[in-house]
Each structure stands twice: as structure tokens, then as C-alpha cells.
Amino acid sequence: MEFLNYFGGVFEPLSLLLLIGGTIGGLILGATPGLSPTMAVALLIPFTFQLAPTQGLILLGAAYTSTVAGGAVSAILLKIPGAPANIATALDGHAMATRGEGARALQLSFLASGVGGVIGVLLLIFLTPMLSRWALAFGPSHLFWLAILGVTVIGSLDSNSFVKGLLSGCIGLWLSMIGYDDIQGAQRFIFADALTGGVNIIAALIGLFAIPQVLDMFAKGRKKTAVQQVNVPRYAIGDSLRELVRSWRALSIGTVVGSIVGLIPGVGGQIAGLVAYDQSKKFSPDKDKFGTGHAEGVIAAESANNAMVGPSLVPLLTLSIPGSPTAAVLLGGLLIHGIFPGSDLFDNHPEVAWTFINSMLIGQLLMVVFGIYTAVWAARIARAPVPLLAAAVLILSIFGSYSIQQSMGDVLVMFVLGIGMFFLVRFGFSAAPLVLGLILGPIAEANFIQGSMIATAMEIPYGYFFGGALNIFLVALVIASVAYSFVANRKATAAAAPAGAAPIIQHRISSALILGTAAAVTWLSFTQEPAEAFLFPRLIAVFFIGFAVWNFYRATTGRARVGDGVLGTMFINMLPGLLLSAVLVFFAAKAFGFYASSTVGFFLLYSFYDPSKLTDLNAWFRRALVTVCFMAIMYGLFSILLQVQTPRGMFL
């Protein structure tokens, strides 16, 4: 109970002020697409130089916990996950928002985050010594099977088709192989300079989730959406609490999964949220409701990604091994102040370690209070006029992608992936499996290569990956996950109504294009050298083309379930927005600067969304005023976050 002796340090005036400021700032940063918890904590480190070690860690810890929860705001309201950890939240949260239940979804997400976060920190307090020894039990073979277990989740994440879910995952796995090989240093699938460093996960996340939303808004033209026709009711906090209690199964699964995944070094909250979502769906009696706006999906995902925070610090504080990318940045914050994590941290610097942990416990409670207080007001974003919302989301996506590395290459990657995903969605594919494959690819490959090297050195090529109780247990989980997903999807497919003739024809064309892409990827993988650098890509290519053939066969025999599959006049409504975006970002930016071109682009997108009002001078004036206000806020926010010393940094 030693931690109780250091609770007073959290409530010192400056420490408490930093805790409140970090929590509020983290919620804002988390809700901004492109600003992950890792980036938020990294940007705040320079502000801790003049602070005492304890106070600096309080600021960083508060930002860490609240940024993870804040990402649910944009995931629910705009279907743009604020961070990879909020991918699963968008699956049901946005569907709730489109029904006018955005406030309810936000309240449930913050409450679930608070419960999961508090339990995760309590595990950090009471079980640190035992959990640190358990974390060391995971070697490369175990982490490889854990990544494969995450891949098997892909099949059930896509509610339309088991095959399409796995096919989407293979596309994501292949995209993760683009760039330089970590072992050989060889180039792999680098088709453009923007791909030299690989596909940035944040840019991909924004593109795959945000751009299809924007294009869908433009494709519908002036048609009013259901969001504008529904009154957003105010949900009492008591109602949300009672619903949280009724959803105890999803809350428990999310908390347990998040705590376990957070403990394993290098895995991350994005996997915790998706695995918890998948397991909650499998154990729920209402599994058919998942993906349609089911509250349990939001609760499971958000309780998991915040329950991960506390345990992810166990290997950091006791073994100097970061459990997540954000924990690695926190390690830098400790080292800057001359504090070296390890087994003797709690003996040499107990006031720093325990005050920091206690502040995270209090920070979880503050995050819930501030999050719930703003939930009703934030939900009003979903009722904004569609033209304004479409233009704002697109420009915000551009800002978020550009801010990652201040590179137009990331913006290009975002647009290409987003446009491709727009068409894939029309034929029953989902963005979530693709993103999960993109995240798991590097983890699976790195541990596969390391495990293979160890197995070769020990002269047990198969025994290393299949020997031992933990390996056997994980392999059994992989087999069980695949079998369950396959059987469940077969039942859902049998109960589904057959699609019309026109979508089937278009679906066959799309399946043929995907098969051709898979064949090209396979050919490239087996013709490139050195062979050692393409070992894992070749393995992926085999599965990629296998699932593509399976998908094509189902399409030609009429057995496939398809999406709406209707493109028709969408091209006509969508074309002006696409052309304006392309001309604006890739041509005007070179002549006028990034910020100036974004401002003009926002105004044009906002104006041309409804061509019937182009001659209305009052409408032009109102739109110009909205443009100036919105872009001034965006410029100010990102200038601070990017630590731009002069406006020239954004203009040119």
C-alpha cells in the first residue's frame, strides 16, 4: 500500500493544474485526426524540460490516457478514428451517430474508457512485480502467433463476407511490406518516392476511413442524410450508466483483453480494441447487431484501449521495455530527467514512480468527467450541414496527414488509399480488416524473422514455433478463431437475401480486378531479390492470390454477398470534388503554399457542393466567413502542434 503515501503529490497546485490541462488537451488532441497518442506525448516532451520530473510525467501521463479516449470523438461522429486504437470504436459508434445517438455513444465510450482505464492502472499498482515476470515469457514465436491470432480476427470483422474480410486483411498485410526491409535493407514494392519509408499507418488510417466518407457525401449530392432529419436527444448520465451495467459482458471482455494485450511489449492498443470487439461479438447473444450501431461494440472497444494503458507501463517501469509506442516516448521523457526505469526504480525514486501512477488513476476519472460534460455538445457536429461537414472533414484529413511528417507524400498516400477504399466498400469490403492487416504486418514479419533465426541457430526449425505450452495454446486459439469465424459467416450467408443482377455483374468485374492485382503482387514477390527480404511477402502473396481466386469463384457462381454495388451517376456528382481536391493539393500547394491552397480548397469545396447557389452573393459571403474562421482555427492548432516557428513553415 506504499502508493497511498504519495497521493498528496498529485494534489499540489502545479501538479493538479498540469493534470487538468493535460487531460483537457489530450481530449482535444485525440479528437483531431492524424494526432495519435504517441505524437501528442512526443509534442509535449519539450514543455517538460523546465518542470520537475514528477510534474513532467504527470503532464505526459494525463495526455496519454485522455488522448486514447479522445480519439473516440472523431471515430463516432465522423467515422475517422483519432488514433489506431479507436478503429473498432468507429464500426458501431458512427452508426449510432447517424441515427442521432452520437451523445449516447460518446457517453458510453467515456464511461467504458474510465472503467477500463481505472482497472488497468490498479493492475499496474498491485500486480507490477508479478506481471513484469509474466511479460518476459513472450518471445518472438509467441508474439508471432499473437499477431497471427489478430489476423484471424479479420474474417469476422467484415460482416459481409468471411472471404472478403481475409482478402482485405491480405491487402493490408501486403501494404505493410512496402518500403525497405529491416533485415536486408532491400527495397520492396517502392513504386513512388512517397513510399520510400513505407505506408504511414496514420495517413492510411485517415485515408481509409475519412476519404470514403467524404466521397460518399459528394456522390449523394444535395440529398439530405438521415443525420439531418433526426433530433439528437439528450441522454441522462444515469441512463448511460445503467446501459453500461447491462453490457457487463462486453465491458468485462474489453477490460480483460486490453489488460492482457497491454502487458505484451510492442503490441499496442489498436490490437486490443479490435480483438476485444471481435471476442465481444462472438460471445454476445446479439452478435448480428454488431456493425449496425450496437452499444456493446463501442463499450468493448473503448474499455479495451484504455485498459491497455496501465499494463503497457509495467514492462517500461520494471524492465525498461516499452509496452507500446507511446510508452517508448514516455521512456524518453524519463531518461531526459536522468531517471532510468528498472527493478530499482521504486526503491531509488518512489516519489516519482508512485506519484506518476497515482496521477494516471486520478486522470482517468477527470477524463470521464470532462468527456461526458462535452459529449452532448460534441454530438452536434453530426448535425452540421453536409456541404460544410464534407469540406471540413476533407481539409482536416489533409491537415492531419500533412502534420505527421510535414510531407505531401503522406497526403498523396492518403488520397490513393481513400479513393481505392471508396470503391471497395461498394462491393462489400470493409476498411477495418485492411487496417488491421497493415498494423499487424510489421509485427508478424519481425517476429517471424527473429524466430526463424533463433530456430536455425538452435537447429529446431519447427520446435521453436510449435513447442512449449504457450505456443500450443496460441496455435489452438488461432485454429478456434478461424473455425468460429468461418462457421458463423456461413450461417449469416445462408440467411442473407440474394442480390440483384446489376450488382452481381459489377461485383464480378471488381473480383476480376482484385484477382489481377493479386496475380501481379504474387509475380512481383517471387521475381524480386534478395530472396531473404521477400520471404514473408511471398507467404502473404500465396494467401492473397488464394483468397482472390476464392472470391472470384464465388462471384462467378453467384454465391457471393455483395455491397450496394451501384456506381452509375455517382461519378458525375463526385467528379467535381475529386478534381478540385487533386488540383488543389498537388498543384496549387506548390504555387501558393500548403495553408493558402487548403483555404482556397475549403472555400471551393464548400461552394461547389451545391452548384444551384453559385449565383447567390449572400451565400458566397457566408461561406467566405465560415472558411476564414475554420481555417484560422486549424492553422493555429496545427502551428502550435507542429511547433512552427514562423508562418512560412505552413505557407511554403
Closest CA to 34 of 61, 77, 67: 67
C-alpha cell at 540: 502473404
Residues in the chain: 652
**pLDDT (tens digit per residue) in 497-539:** 444 444 566 677 778 888 888 898 889 888 888 877 888 888 8
Whole-Å CA distances, 167 to 260, 368, 504, 562: 28, 38, 18, 14
- The per-residue pLDDT for range 161-188, each reduced to its tens digit, is 778 888 888 888 899 888 888 777 788 8
What digits encode the pLDDT tens for the residues 217-252? 766 654 444 443 334 445 567 788 888 888 889 999
Quickly state the pLDDT bin for 299 (edges 50, 70, 90): very high
C-alpha–C-alpha distance, residues 18 and 616, integer Å: 49
What is the rounded average pLDDT of the residues 84-100?
Answer: 84
Q: 551 lies in a domain?
A: no
| Pair (347, 450) in one structural domain | yes
Structural domain includes residue 622? yes
Q: Do residues 475 and 621 share a domain? A: no
Domain span at residue 637? 570-651
Say which DSSP state 468 is in: S
Residue 286 — very low, low, confident or very high, per pLDDT cuts 50/70/90? confident
> Comparing C-alpha atoms, which of 492, 563, 69 is closest to residue 289?
492
Whether residue 523 is contained in a domain is answered as no
Q: Calculate Rg over the CA atoms of the chain.
A: 24
Nearest alpha carbon to residue 290 among 426, 429, 486, 88 = 88
Same domain, 158 and 252: yes
* Same domain flag for 488 and 576: no
Q: How many Cα atoms are found within 13 Å in the side-chain-facing hemisphere of 446?
A: 14
Are residue 491 and residue 612 in the same domain, yes or no?
no
Predicted confidence band of residue 40 (pLDDT cuts 50, 70, 90): confident
**Predicted confidence (pLDDT) at residue 648 exceeds the cutoff of 60:** no
Mean pLDDT of the chain: 76
Tell me, yes or no, whether 210 and 301 share the same domain. yes
Query: Average pLDDT for residues 57-71, to the nearest whole number?
Result: 85
265: pLDDT strictly greater than 70: no
Of 445, 479, 496, the domain-final residue: 496
Tally of CB atoms within 10 A around 540: 25
Q: Closest Cα to residue 431, out of 272, 213, 178?
A: 213
Residues 6+ apart with CB under 8 A from 68: 30, 37, 83, 85, 86, 113, 269, 305, 306, 308, 309
Residues 409 and 298 grouped into a single domain? yes
- Residue with the larger pLDDT of the pair 130 and 123: 123
Q: Which residue has the higher pLDDT, 50 or 518?
A: 518
pLDDT > 90 fraction of the chain, expressed in percent and rounded: 2
Scan for cell 491487402, then name that residue: 171
Region of poorest pLDDT, from 154-168, 308-322, 472-486: 154-168
Q: Would residue 289 count as lying in a domain?
A: yes
Structural domain tally of the chain?
2
Give CA angle at 205 (184, 537), nearest 5°: 30
Buried b (16+ CB within 10 A) or exposed e, 522-534: bebbeebeeeebb
**Among 435, 572, 560, which residue's Cα sits nearest to residue 506?**
560
Task: State which amino acid sits at residue 435.
Answer: V
In the chain, the N- to C-terminal Cα span, in Å, equals: 56
Q: Give the distance from CA 53 to its chain's centroid.
A: 31
pLDDT value at residue 230: 38
> Are the C-beta atoms of residues 198 and 413 closer than 8 Å to each other?
no
- Looking at the structure, tell me whether residues 591 and 488 fall in a common domain: no
In a domain, 374, yes or no: yes
Q: Tens digit of pLDDT for each residue in 362-399? A: 988 898 888 888 776 776 666 666 667 777 777 777 77
**pLDDT tens sequence across 400-439:** 777 777 777 888 888 889 888 888 887 778 787 888 788 7
Q: Can you point out the beta strands (E) in 476-613?
A: none
Segment 567-597, tens digit of pLDDT:
545 555 555 555 665 565 556 555 556 666 6
pLDDT at res. 252: 92
Name the grid cell of 308.
491497455
pLDDT for position 224: 45
Decide: 430 and 140 in contact? Cβ < 8 Å: no
- Residue 530: helix, strand or coil by DSSP? coil
Highest mean pLDDT among 11-20, 475-484, 575-584, 616-625: 11-20
Last residue of a domain, one of 496, 526, 547: 496
Q: Please tell me which residue, 553 or 114, carries the higher pLDDT value.
A: 114
For residues 491 and 628, membership in a common domain is answered with no
Q: Judge whether 221 lies within some domain.
A: yes
Task: Give the rounded percent of residues in the chain with a pLDDT score beyond 70.
Answer: 71
Measured CA to CA, the distance from residue 189 to residue 184 in angstroms comes to 14
User: What's the DSSP call for residue 584?
Assistant: I
Query: 224-257 burial by CB neighbour count: b if 16+ within 10 A, else e?
Result: eeebeebebeebeeeebeebbeebeebbbbbbbb
396 lies in some domain: yes
Q: Looking at the domain assignment, is residue 304 inside a domain?
A: yes
List, for residues 191-212, the tens digit of each pLDDT value: 888 788 888 887 888 888 888 8
Q: Is the pLDDT of residue 640 over 50?
A: yes
In this structure, the answer to whether residues 224 and 354 fall within a common structural domain is yes
Are 289 and 399 in a shared domain?
yes
Least confidently predicted of 26-40, 561-575, 587-601: 561-575
Of 496, 531, 547, which closes a domain?
A: 496
DSSP type of residue 235: P
Helices 102-126 and 237-246, axial angle in degrees (round to 10): 60
pLDDT score of 651 more than 50: no
